[in-house]
Amino acid sequence: IAMTLRLPAGKDIEDGPFPTVIEHSGYGTAAPGNLLTTLFGGSSDLPTPDGATIVGSALAPLLDYASVSVQMRGSGCSGGAYDLFGLPTTYDGYDAVEAVAAQDWSKGKVGLVGISYSGISQLFMAGTRPPSLAALAPMSVTTDIYNGTGYPGGIFNSGFALSWVKDRVSDSQPAPEGGQRWAREMINDLGDTKCLDNQKLRLQTLDVLDLIETNPFRTPLLFYQRAPGRWLKRIQAPVFLTGQYQDEQTGGNFPHALSRLEDNEDVWISMQNGVHNDSISPSTITQWIEFLEIFVAKEVPEVPAIFVGPASPFKALFGSRSDAVEQSDYVGLSDVAAAESAFRGDNPRVKLLMENGAGPSGSGGLGATWQMRSAAWPPRNAKPRTWYLGDDGGLGSGKPARRSAEKYTADPAARPLTNLASGGVNSP
């Protein structure tokens, strides 16, 4: 398995041990170059990771963490055969946690970070219960990638989900003839013979497209082990999970499985209106940093100056207006125990962040304006209601005397193809 160690900004290996996090993904994760260099228009002598790995490959080192980018088996320069969230991949995650935690430069307990692909993988990894796992902070996940995202409502998702799987199949082809860009560059430009040797099992890769097409229903033997939501109940480490209801990539079905975390007392969930990338927003980033500092680094939280205020990197990274990132309220507390006590007192189990996109930075800017809080999910005071389509096309609580029908014709020209500015990190 290919891994790249990224040290805290400005630090050498002799400055350790460091608080350490892992990002495990099948994107171009372990490419050894500096992602921030290329994101801001520079060039790199080494192949750089994909922008979708920004949490582990760029943000974590800026927060003074050692970050280990782990390349999923059967992709990039890792050996083995690709099988989207099959058991070998899941238990690679267990081994990665234990191997990294045993290194001299690590403090001995590690955290998991990442958005989307590397957020989903955390649910599997934590479900294996590695003893050296300190905490996990998944962003923008799905809890049923094959059926929930692949067949939302039982209808085949021939849009993003299909194109995403096709890209993963392409990535799993053997390099240098095919496969990921960084693997081709490592072999062709840098003469990496280990990367070349690791391509040998690629022709045994499971045909994921065939698996999906021939199993449109929930085939337990195939899909239960590959459904991240089923691993939630096994997670014992502290969890900080963020996600959006209108997630245009992984879908909005993930809240249905969050009740599987009910036996874990150390869970904090932040949900909001918004799209896939909004997990990395001013409304959640301070609490995310506080969580990692308390439960992984075991330090009193302090948000680095580069993240605080209107000049934070989010505008540059996402091409969007952004509310100011706030400094932690716990700066200056006497010790981490005091910070943990304050964190627990300030943060309910569930936050519902409302009107994201309507904050002080203006319409469309990152940031929520108010929030609802709950001690449980689903909220205990929530009452389900049934709505019916009326004769006039409206919704009502009364069941109509007869069935009615309405027609809908999609008009792709009615709105932009994307709500994200070009040049931003737009495809985790």
Q: How far apart are CA 114 and CA 136, in angstroms?
A: 9
Q: Is residue 425 scored above 60 in pLDDT?
A: no
Terminal Cα distance for the chain, rounded: 22
Q: What is the mean pLDDT of residues 403-426?
A: 63
Peptide bond into 378 cis (omega under 30): yes
Residue type, 374: S
State the residue for tokens 């760029």.
Answer: 58
Cβ neighbours, 10 Å, residue 335: 11
Interval 211-267: pLDDT, tens: 888 887 878 877 888 899 999 999 999 999 999 999 989 988 899 999 999 999 999
What are the tokens at 112? 């998991």
pLDDT band, very low/low/confident/very high, at 422 (cuts 50, 70, 90)? very low
pLDDT band, very low/low/confident/very high, at 66 (cuts 50, 70, 90)? very high
User: What pLDDT sits at residue 214?
Assistant: 83
Q: Is residue 360 scored above 70 in pLDDT?
A: yes
User: What pLDDT sits at residue 416?
Assistant: 66
User: What pLDDT sits at residue 325?
Assistant: 85
Q: Is residue 420 scored above 90 in pLDDT?
A: no
pLDDT band, very low/low/confident/very high, at 394 (cuts 50, 70, 90)? confident
pLDDT band, very low/low/confident/very high, at 417 (cuts 50, 70, 90)? low
Q: What is the mean pLDDT of residues 384-392?
A: 82
Planar angle of CA 320, 343, 55, nearest 5 degrees: 35
User: What pLDDT sits at residue 366?
Assistant: 80
Interval 395-409: pLDDT, tens: 888 887 776 666 778
Q: What is the mean pLDDT of residues 142-150?
A: 84
What is the 3-state secondary structure of the chain? CCEEEECCCCCCHHHCCEEEEEEEECCCCCCCCCHHHHHCCCCCCCCCCCHHHHHHHHHHHHCCCEEEEEECCCCCCCCCCCCCCCHHHHHHHHHHHHHHHCCCCEEEEEEEEEECHHHHHHHHHHHCCCCCEEEEEEECCCCCHHHHHCCHHHCCCCCHHHHHHHHHHHHCCCCCCCCCHHHHHHHHCCCCHHHHHCCCCHHHCCCHHHHHHCCCCCCHHHHHHHCHHHHHHHCCCCEEEEEECCCCCCCCCHHHHHHHHCCCCCEEEEEECCCHHHHCCHHHHHHHHHHHHHHHHCCCCCCCCCCCECCCCHHHHHCCCECCECCCCCCCCCCHHHHHHHHHHHCCCEEEEECCCCCCCCCCCECCCEEEEECCCCCCCCCCCCCEECCCCCEECCCCCCCCCCCCCCCHHHCCCCCCCCCCCCCC
Q: What is the mean pLDDT of residues 77-83?
A: 94
User: What pLDDT sits at residue 232?
Assistant: 96
Non-local (6+) Cβ contacts of 418 within 8 A are 426
209 or 318, higher pLDDT: 209
Q: Is residue 313 scored above 70 in pLDDT?
A: no
pLDDT band, very low/low/confident/very high, at 328 (cuts 50, 70, 90)? very high
Query: What is each CA distance from 334 to 80, 243, 326, 341, in whole angstroms?
Result: 48, 32, 20, 12
User: What pLDDT sits at residue 426?
Assistant: 37
Q: Is residue 89 scored above 50 in pLDDT?
A: yes
Beta-ladder partners of 389: 395
Query: To the nearest whole percent, how much of the chain has pLDDT over 90?
Result: 61
Q: Is residue 428 scored above 50 in pLDDT?
A: no
| 18-25 vs 350-354, strand pairing mode | unpaired
Q: Is residue 410 scored above 90 in pLDDT?
A: no
Query: To the nearest whole percent, how much of the chain has pLDDT over 70?
Result: 92
428 or 370, higher pLDDT: 370
Whole-prediction pTM: 0.90
Q: Is residue 346 scored above 80 in pLDDT?
A: yes
pLDDT averaged over the chain?
A: 89
